[in-house]
Amino acid sequence: MSPKLSNAQIAWRAAQDIADGAYVNLGIGFPEMVAKFQPPGRQAIFHTENGILNFGEAPPAGDEDWDLINAGKKAVTLKPGAAFFHHADSFAMVRGGHLDVAILGAYQVAETGDLANWSTGPKGVPAVGGAMDLVHGAKRVAVITDHVTKEGAPKLLERCTLPLTGVGCVTRVYTSLAVIDIEDGRFVLREKLAALTFEALQAQTGARLHLTGPVADLTVPEL
């Protein structure tokens, strides 16, 4: 079995590309981990759909204020200058193009940039929620995901087979094996695990990987 990154390591890698002062929305669940790994000297301003801007890390166990939660119903803290606002105003920020980055999870990503991150199945997310607004409102949309499903099927495909969250919206995918950009309807490989050959990576990808230059080693800390 080939080596792969943990969820924390994928989140760490995604965090390295967030600019200082960027307005960022993190998807519910796994993407929320990105907030833990901001590089020294950089501080993103995190937005949540339920109406908080500039919230901080989770409080210590027992110190939660359950009036202060994110969209995933997890307790958060506030940073100086934090703001509260109506749910509708929050979505006006999203739809008005005021977010620099949205980082979401995925069931499937197509080489065209299409995203499927919800499902009508018995164990699926019950509705598309705010993701459909985020993927077309944020200036940049990135996905963090395992490279394959639990059954070993590719999650990066020529075309998505599940209901779409958005069309042509994703520009970069951080997986457990590689960092891949979406350019001109193609998957372009930027980084991969050093221990993984290109051929082995391609075998786990459901669409052709393109090379436009040197491929860097995907290097992350032990977490």
Tokens at 18, concatenated: 């967030």
CA angle 86, 78, 93 (to 5 degrees): 35
For the annotated catalytic residues, the residue numbers are: 49
Q: Give the C-alpha separation, 200 to 124, whole Å.
A: 29
Residue 90, φ and ψ in degrees, nearest 5: -60, -45
Q: Give the C-alpha separation, 25 to 47, whole Å.
A: 5
129 sits in the region (left: phi over 0; alpha: psi -120 to 50; else beta) called left
